[in-house]
Structure 1
């Protein structure tokens, strides 16, 4: 985790060295913060899901995966076998969603966010997924 001395999960944004959006350091820090957040644990509850994120851009695709199980999250770079759902968006949409500048429903309805797979499961996870941009607001991220 890219941190400075004195790190506390959920601590001030200034306690972190900037991480590059969608980098391995970003997924590691985001995972650590989410797992230390009671609101995420409560929202995730006993749900179980495996998600694939695909971010498209001029330099190609970036992929990362998310596993939610037993109130905790695991994340990593690359592809995961047999995801329950795949969420695809371009880089600008991913940034806007991460910064809470774009509502996920609006992004989906306008075609900026494409979803394949188990939509019902994603609806059930809406509370847990909505914690991601909240936690990202506390991180020092270079976009």
Structure 2
């Protein structure tokens, strides 16, 4: 599995905030042992980093139409916390849209 291979033995806890005219949606995921455990709302544990982006950016990233690096470099994605940790996770984060493609999502 490409995600598990990319994740390796890395561990991280990340909060995601998606903004829209209707307010914020908050999600989190924990990466551990080559597996990602996602959840809705605020992370129950302290996070290494928080990623904030608008709905259009989040949807484009989810559909693998925009990479996290391109979104960050263009200012469409903001990071607070440990940016270096996220950079180390770049391979695993890049595989997440493929790993999650079986989830039914309405955009």
Q: TM-score, normalised by structure 2?
A: 0.90
Deviation at 1:137, TM superposition (A): 4.0
Alignment of 1:12-27 (within 5 A): none
Moved more, 41-50 or 98-107: 98-107
Aligned residues: 106
SS at match of 2:75: coil
1:101 paired to 2:60: no
1:48 paired to 2:11: yes
Q: Which residue of 2 aligns with 1:91?
A: 55
The structure where strand makes up a greater share of residues is 2
Q: Which residue of 2 aligns with 1:79?
A: 42
Q: Is the contact made by 2:27 and 2:39 (CA closer than 8 Å) also made in structure 1?
A: yes
Q: Is the contact made by 2:18 and 2:53 (CA closer than 8 Å) also made in structure 1?
A: yes
1:28-52 Cα distance to aligned partner (Å, 9 max, x none): xxxxxxxxxx211111111110000
Q: Which residue of 2 aligns with 1:4?
A: none
Deviation at 1:97, TM superposition (A): 0.9
Between the aligned partners of 1:52 and 1:127, the Cα distance in structure 2 is 18
1:90-127 Cα distance to aligned partner (Å, 9 max, x none): 00110111112222222111111001111111111111
Q: Is the contact made by 2:17 and 2:50 (CA closer than 8 Å) also made in structure 1?
A: yes
Alignment of 1:117-128 (within 5 A): 117-128=81-92
Q: Is the contact made by 1:99 and 1:136 (CA closer than 8 Å) also made in structure 2?
A: no
